[in-house]
């Protein structure tokens, strides 16, 4: 190919638009095969972050996999042909299903797969493998927000309005999200609220996003880790007590107010202050600001959702928004910020253990019948619901559990909670098959590794954080030895004698997806490649013959009666353990330079040079109490494991916490320390508030750094 291709960034759900222009890479192996230029689009307006600008370097990275790998009798991985690899996978899968049943095979997907891949992966699991045991890494990302949205609104779409609507806001409340580092072009949409002095950031750390509130542009609220639910209940209490409720909206558009009012009666501001550390005066000021007029938005992120009470916390944020009459009102609203590139579309079309395409419930007979007609099978051929991600991983290698696992778009031994237990489960398997670009930490454990195409080498669609379906376009020909996952799934389905059709052309797969989604909550039936190629905006639900739905809830919510549910929630004291005198709370999160498990960004020299290792951020007062100096080698540990990192002293974190980024593997994997306890509604694991001990490790390197620091002091 020689012509430029308009596409979108391979990383986060902002899906910044870019133009890819092929280069003469053959003349210089160090030259990426495409150049990247930002392209004007409503989300990024031509801007890109460091990750986007450097994304082309991965296309011909030295560590790129170029042929299938099979584990030999010597325990090492060796290159093989595609026929050899696929024949082996099919033979082993047949044997495992015959010996242990169809549910002995599991599938673990990812929120970075295109809609076409996510759709076909769900179909492959249920028809070619006959298994119910499929889930994906979006369970770690959006599940609590999705569960809260479904029960309050009857629908789960991250932002139920276009991102550009934020431009006119006078007040924006950001709860547990660090957009300045995770999706930097987003911050351009905060300028109006900043100018009005109305940007409010709730985060236990003073992040780059929190610093956007400086100089009178807003306020940073810094609660104790894990107390977001109490903070929100306190805000609701103030809104009700001070008669800030939009009574006409509540009466006409919601149910459940009386029960909600009783449930927050005991959360007066002074009590909230004793739990969260946020001053009662600050709480009252914030509630009044949110209720001060038009142009108010409330947005949540993973910081308040990745908890064992994450669904209740997200629900409390929705309750607050409903009391103020924000959802569906022009110029105001509530939303949650999807993290992964296709975190929205990835959960709509069949990767989740309990869903069929179109966001249909797998237990619904009508939904099963509709999808079965599209697939050309009997509804009884479609298995019932499976188990969510954490439970699926706990079944690995267990008697009566999962004996084989296929992994697509996930790096489980970095991104999953309680990593040591996950690694042990993977090692117990009879067969582990991983599709990846690189030999990630998970792929390194596999019996079979299948090299796949990257974003600039394939066609497809993604659904961004606004629920807008967009086009991914091929700019270059993929390397000879790699294959598209649509082709891999079709080849395996044929080898497994599956009677259902598995197309390999992305556009034809999308046409089938359209039919399967028709009439569902996430209806894509009115969208096709031609309209996307014209640049038409396509916000779902987009039924055939409609113009799509850029803004939800203008007239009604998605429950049968059209009303939103105010759902009373409460703080569970047993939700998470409290730190002892010699312990602190671990907070995990992201860095500007890296993405998710770091499997890609740690292979980009510019990004790795900027953040080559995980650092433990500690408050100087905490460090002094523990006898730790800046740069010291540390062990951060609990009963699940230990992480070895260096200390970074900063006043940006509370004295009762330590921060670790989760982008690193092996001895620096933050998820060695995180719990696999889950939210009872969403099955989201507790990533954010785990109790740890931090101790200094005496080593020659740390001793030298300490001596040098003392000399300079």
Tell me the C-alpha distance between 664 and 350, whole Å. 29
Q: What percent of the chain has pLDDT above 70?
A: 97
On the question of pLDDT at 200 being above 90, the answer is yes
Whether residue 101 is found in the same domain as residue 120: yes
Instruction: Give the tens place of pLDDT for each residue, 69-86.
Output: 999 999 999 999 999 999
Instruction: Give the torsion through C-alpha atoms of 603, 606, 607, 609, to 10 deg.
Output: 90
Question: Is the entire prediction scored with pTM above 0.75?
Answer: yes
Tell me, yes or no, whether 241 lies in a domain: yes
Tell me, yes or no, whether 508 lies in a domain: no
Which pLDDT score is estimated for 10? 96
Which pLDDT score is estimated for 27? 52
User: Could you give the maximum distance between any two Cα atoms of the chain, in Å?
Assistant: 77
Tokens 């179109």 locate to 358
Whether residue 195 is found in the same domain as residue 147: yes
Tell me, yes or no, whether 570 lies in a domain: no
Our count of domains for the chain comes to 4
Q: And the tokens for 341?
A: 């590139």
Tokens 């294959």 locate to 483
Once rounded to an integer, what is the mean pLDDT over residues 375-381? 97
Whether residue 79 is found in the same domain as residue 50: no
* Stronger pLDDT, 137 or 25, i.e. the higher one: 137
Once rounded to an integer, what is the mean pLDDT over residues 93-102? 98
Which pLDDT score is estimated for 139? 94
**Confidence band of 26 (pLDDT split at 50, 70, 90):** low
CATH number (domain holding residue 168): 3.40.228.10
Whether residue 627 is found in the same domain as residue 684: yes
Whether residue 295 is found in the same domain as residue 395: no
Tell me the C-alpha distance between 513 and 507, whole Å. 10
Which pLDDT score is estimated for 675? 95
Residues in the chain: 713
Whether residue 153 is found in the same domain as residue 269: yes
Cβ–Cβ < 8 Å for 228, 144: no
CATH number (domain holding residue 113): 3.40.50.740
Which pLDDT score is estimated for 293? 80
Q: Pinpoint the alpha helices (H) of 242-309.
A: 247-253, 257-263, 269-276, 280-290, 302-305
Last residue of a domain, one of 336, 367, 401: 336
On the question of pLDDT at 419 being above 70, the answer is yes
Q: And the tokens for 673?
A: 């320390």
Whether residue 21 is found in the same domain as residue 82: no
Once rounded to an integer, what is the mean pLDDT over residues 351-376? 97
Tell me, yes or no, whether 471 lies in a domain: no
Which pLDDT score is estimated for 696? 97
On the question of pLDDT at 260 being above 60, the answer is yes
Q: And the tokens for 463?
A: 């659904």
**Confidence band of 574 (pLDDT split at 50, 70, 90):** confident
Q: What is the mean pLDDT of the chain?
A: 95
User: Helix 485-495 crosses helix 82-100 at what angle (to 10 degrees)?
Assistant: 50
**Confidence band of 509 (pLDDT split at 50, 70, 90):** very high
Whether residue 162 is found in the same domain as residue 242: yes
Tell me, yes or no, whether 64 lies in a domain: no
- The backbone torsions φ and ψ at residue 153, rounded to the nearest 5 degrees and listed phi first, read -105, -20
C-alpha angle with apex 692: 573 to 173, nearest 5 degrees?
60
Which pLDDT score is estimated for 576? 73
Q: And the tokens for 13?
A: 């759900």
Whether residue 318 is found in the same domain as residue 358: no
CATH number (domain holding residue 593): 2.40.40.20
Last residue of a domain, one of 305, 321, 336: 336
On the question of pLDDT at 703 being above 80, the answer is no
Instruction: Give the tens place of pLDDT for each residue, 577-633.
Output: 788 888 999 999 999 999 999 999 999 999 999 999 999 999 999 999 999 999 999
Q: And the tokens for 455?
A: 């974003």
Which pLDDT score is estimated for 24? 78
Instruction: Give the tens place of pLDDT for each residue, 28-77.
Output: 667 899 999 999 999 999 999 999 999 999 999 999 999 999 999 999 99
Tell me, yes or no, whether 685 lies in a domain: yes
Tell me, yes or no, whether 550 lies in a domain: no
Last residue of a domain, one of 19, 36, 58: 58
Instruction: Give the tens place of pLDDT for each residue, 640-669.
Output: 999 999 999 999 999 999 999 999 999 999
Tell me the C-alpha distance between 604 and 32, whole Å. 12
C-alpha angle with apex 197: 193 to 202, nearest 5 degrees?
80
CATH number (domain holding residue 48): 2.20.25.90
Whether residue 220 is found in the same domain as residue 264: yes
On the question of pLDDT at 713 being above 50, the answer is no
On the question of pLDDT at 710 being above 60, the answer is no
Instruction: Give the tens place of pLDDT for each residue, 525-548.
Output: 999 999 999 999 999 999 999 999
Domain that holds residue 52: 5-58
Strands (E) across 476-625 are located at 564-565, 584-589, 615-618
Which pLDDT score is estimated for 29? 65
Cβ–Cβ < 8 Å for 31, 24: yes
Tell me, yes or no, whether 369 lies in a domain: yes
Whether residue 674 is found in the same domain as residue 619: yes
**Confidence band of 2 (pLDDT split at 50, 70, 90):** low
Which pLDDT score is estimated for 580? 85
Whether residue 116 is found in the same domain as residue 160: no
Secondary element (H or E) of residue 345 = helix 343-346
């Amino acid at each position: 190919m020689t012509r430029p291709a308009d596409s979108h960034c391979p990383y986060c759900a902002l899906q910044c638009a870019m133009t890819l222009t092929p280069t003469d890479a053959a003349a210089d192996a160090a030259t990426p095969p495409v150049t990247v230029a930002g392209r004007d689009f409503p989300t990024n307006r031509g801007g890109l972050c460091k990750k986007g600008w450097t994304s082309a370097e991965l296309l011909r990275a030295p560590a790129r996999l170029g042929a299938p790998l099979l584990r030999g009798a010597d325990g090492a991985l060796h290159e093989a042909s595609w026929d050899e690899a696929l024949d082996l996978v099919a033979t082993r899968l047949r044997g495992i299903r015959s010996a242990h049943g169809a549910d002995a095979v599991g599938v673990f997907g990812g929120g970075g797969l295109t809609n076409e891949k996510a759709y076909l992966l769900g179909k492959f699991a249920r028809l070619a493998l006959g298994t119910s045991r499929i889930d994906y890494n979006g369970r770690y990302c959006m599940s609590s927000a999705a569960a809260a949205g479904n029960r309050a609104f009857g629908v789960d779409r991250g932002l139920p309005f276009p991102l550009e609507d934020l431009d006119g806001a006078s007040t924006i409340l950001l709860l547990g999200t660090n957009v300045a580092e995770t999706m930097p072009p987003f911050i351009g949409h905060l300028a109006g609220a900043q100018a009005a002095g109305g940007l409010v950031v709730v985060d236990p750390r003073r992040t780059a996003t929190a610093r956007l509130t400086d100089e009178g542009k807003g306020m940073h609220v810094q609660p104790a880790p894990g107390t977001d639910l109490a903070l929100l209940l306190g805000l609701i209490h103030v809104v009700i007590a001070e008669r800030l409720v939009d009574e006409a909206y509540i009466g006409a558009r919601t149910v459940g107010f009386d029960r909600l009012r009783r449930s927050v009666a005991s959360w007066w501001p002074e009590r909230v202050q004793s739990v969260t550390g946020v001053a009662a005066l600050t709480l009252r000021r914030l509630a009044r600001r949110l209720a001060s007029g038009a142009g108010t938005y409330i947005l949540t992120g993973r910081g308040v959702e990745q908890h064992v009470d994450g669904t209740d916390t997200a629900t409390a944020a929705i309750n607050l928004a409903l009391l103020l009459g924000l959802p569906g009102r022009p110029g105001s609203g509530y939303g949650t910020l999807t993290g992964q590139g296709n975190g929205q579309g990835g959960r709509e079309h069949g990767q989740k253990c309990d869903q069929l395409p179109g966001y249909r419930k797998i237990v619904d007979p009508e939904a099963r019948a509709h999808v079965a007609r599209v697939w050309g099978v009997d509804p009884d051929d479609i298995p019932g619901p499976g188990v969510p991600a954490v439970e699926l991983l706990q079944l690995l290698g267990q008697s009566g559990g999962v004996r084989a696992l296929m992994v697509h778009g996930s790096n489980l031994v970095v991104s999953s909670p309680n990593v040591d237990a996950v690694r042990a489960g993977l090692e117990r398997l009879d067969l582990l098959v991983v599709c990846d670009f690189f030999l990630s930490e998970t792929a390194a454990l596999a019996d079979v590794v299948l090299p796949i195409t990257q974003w600039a080498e394939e066609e497809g669609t993604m659904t961004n954080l606004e629920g807008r379906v967009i086009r991914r376009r091929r700019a270059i020909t993929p390397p000879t030895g790699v294959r598209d996952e649509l082709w891999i799934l079709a080849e395996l389905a044929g080898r497994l004698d599956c009677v259902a059709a598995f197309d390999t052309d992305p556009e034809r797969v999308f046409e089938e997806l359209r039919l399967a989604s028709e009439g569902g909550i996430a209806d894509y039936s009115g969208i096709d490649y031609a309209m996307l190629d014209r640049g038409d905006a396509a916000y779902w639900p987009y039924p055939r013959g409609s113009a799509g739905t850029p803004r939800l809830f203008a007239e009604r919510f998605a429950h049968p009666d059209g009303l939103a549910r105010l759902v009373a929630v409460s703080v569970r004291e047993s939700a998470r353990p409290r730190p002892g005198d010699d312990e602190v709370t671990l907070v995990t999160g992201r860095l500007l330079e890296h993405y998710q498990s770091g499997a890609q960004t740690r292979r980009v020299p510019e990004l790795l040079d900027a953040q080559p290792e995980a650092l433990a951020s500690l408050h100087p007062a905490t460090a002094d109490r523990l006898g730790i100096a800046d740069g010291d080698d540390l062990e951060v540990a609990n009963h699940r494991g230990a992480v070895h990192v260096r200390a970074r002293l900063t006043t940006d974190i509370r004295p009762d916490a330590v921060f670790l980024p989760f982008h690193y593997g092996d001895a620096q994997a933050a998820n060695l320390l995180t719990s696999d306890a889950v939210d009872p509604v969403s099955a989201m694991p507790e990533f954010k508030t785990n109790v740890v001990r931090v101790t200094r490790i005496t080593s020659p390197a740390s001793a030298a750094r300490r001596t040098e620091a003392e000399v300079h002091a």
